[in-house]
Amino acid sequence: QKEVEQDPGPLSVPEGAIVSLNCTYSNSAFQYFMWYRQYSRKGPELLMYTYSSGNKEDGRFTAQVDKSSKYISLFIRDSQPSDSATYLCAMKRTGGFKTIFGAGTRLFVKA
Amino acid sequence: GAVVSQHPSWVICKSGTSVKIECRSLDFQATTMFWYRQFPKQSLMLMATSNEGSKATYEQGVEKDKFLINHASLTLSTLTVTSAHPEDSSFYICSANPQGGNEQFFGPGTRLTVL
């Protein structure tokens, strides 16, 4: 079993839809949770960074962490064609050296 | 803030030559930098972790003599692909951790094509 599981998709939605992206993990020691967006042939860009459980909102993006269920989510409201990209979840434990990445979910937002 | 640059952004070389890729943190100091490789439509594959002033730690299956990593300062790490072959063609991405931080910030990537 992988430490971080993420459905690779692809996920296709119409413009304006609410998108829900999710990851599950197995290591309860993870405390830092991140979401990255990667456009084709570009490096990943940090979108959201959260510590421990709870919600964090930034514009159209909301990140949720449920440590009891070992489940994290990224919601995108009013999705736009420019949101079409691969979204990677990532997590790290306190004092850990490495960040563990999910496989990435490919999202297509159709105009 | 938190900008990481990579140079070159793309490179084409002949088989058997060596290629050096630079990764710089432009507005922060990074004690730790990471090098990844990514094939089309696949996720990131961590190759090695480099710490300023010490030897890099390579992931299992990554040849340290082929992929030479140097982290000479708190803002610069280099990856040299020695005696490159067509199977080394890939997208190489570096990332950096700010000192005391847990987030990783990625460079834009370098596309290597070996003919």
Give the pLDDT confidence of A36-84 residue by residue, as tens digits. Answer: 999 998 999 999 999 988 899 999 999 999 999 999 999 999 999 999 9
State the distance between the two ends of chain A, measured CA to CA, in whole angstroms. Answer: 37
What tokens appear for B88 in the block? Answer: 């080394």
pLDDT at position A105: 96
Residue closest to B75 by CA, chosen among B105, B48, B47, B55: B105
Average pLDDT over chain A, rounded to whole? 94
Residue A33: its chain B contacts at CB < 8 A? none
Question: Is B44 within 8 Å of A88 when comparing Cβ atoms?
Answer: yes
The single residue listed with the structure tokens 């299956």 is B61
CB nearest B103 (choices: A34, A43, A104): A34
> Cβ contact (<8 Å) for B104 and A46?
yes
Q: Which two tokens stand for residue A26?
A: 């197995």
Using a CB–CB cutoff of 8 Å, tell me whether B109 touches chain A. Answer: yes
Which pLDDT score, from 0 to 100, does residue B52 have? 84
pLDDT tens readout for residues B9-39: 999 999 999 999 999 999 999 989 999 999 9
The Cα–Cα gap between A44 and B100 comes to 21
Query: How far, in Å, CA of B40 to CA of B18, rounded?
Result: 23
As a whole number of angstroms, the distance between CA B7 and CA B13 comes to 15
Half-sphere exposure of B56 (CA within 13 A, CB side): 26
pLDDT tens sequence across B34-79: 999 999 888 899 999 998 888 899 999 999 999 999 988 999 999 9
Q: List, for residues A20-31, the tens digit of each pLDDT value.
A: 999 999 999 999
